[in-house]
């Protein structure tokens, strides 16, 4: 081969390698969500309330933390725990009129790590309505993820509130 032929081969090689690198980066950014479906049950008797004025009930502005149990959808197989931290009485309505509370939510999936969502958490008036929060990341198998955590609250059963959970995860 002559000098021009060798240069052409090198240029074509560089273009191919660069193109493959760009395609790989683009495909990672446009990866479709990989949804995880589960059931969440929160027992309201386990709520921890800041109770600044010692009146044994939550007041607007006091912080509350709740814990729930995560189950595989359609089973009673426990797959993890749920923790949520929010300000009582911080309710607001979304543009769709759904009553929500800004919160930090942690989905602790047994043996896999945690998924952290920041944003709206359904209030007691959001029964039957989907409420979304942004997945901010995670630990373990969920490092560097993003996506949407959707919770749909169902009718309270005694002291327990069931939710359907869909975690639409985007992998890095």
3-state secondary structure 7-65: HHHHHHHHHHHHHHHHHHHHHHHCCCCEEEEEEEEEEHHHCEECCCCCCCCCCCCCEEE
CATH superfamily to which 32-170 belongs = Allene oxide cyclase-like (2.40.480.10)
Entry pTM: 0.76
pLDDT in tens, the chain (172 residues): 554 554 444 344 333 333 333 333 333 344 555 699 999 999 999 999 999 999 988 888 888 999 999 999 999 999 999 999 988 876 665 666 666 778 999 999 999 999 999 988 777 777 888 889 999 999 999 999 999 999 999 999 999 999 999 999 999 8
Question: What are the residues facing 65 on neighbouring strands?
Answer: 48, 85
């Amino acid at each position: 081969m002559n000098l021009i032929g060798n240069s052409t081969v090198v240029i074509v090689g560089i273009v191919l390698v660069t193109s493959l690198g760009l395609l790989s980066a683009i495909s990672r950014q446009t990866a479709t969500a990989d949804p995880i479906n589960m059931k969440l049950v929160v027992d309201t008797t386990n709520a921890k309330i800041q109770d600044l004025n010692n009146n044994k009930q939550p007041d607007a502005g006091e912080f509350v933390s709740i814990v729930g149990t995560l189950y595989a959808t359609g089973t009673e197989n426990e797959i993890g725990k749920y923790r949520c931290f929010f300000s009582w009485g911080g309710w607001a309505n979304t543009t769709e009129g759904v009553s929500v509370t800004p919160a930090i939510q942690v989905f602790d999936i047994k043996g896999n790590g945690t998924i952290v969502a920041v944003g709206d958490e359904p209030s007691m008036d959001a029964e039957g309505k989907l409420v979304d929060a942004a997945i901010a990341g995670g630990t373990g198998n969920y490092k560097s993820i993003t996506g949407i955590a959707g919770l749909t609250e169902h009718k309270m059963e005694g002291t327990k509130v069931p939710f359907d959970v869909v975690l639409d995860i985007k992998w890095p």
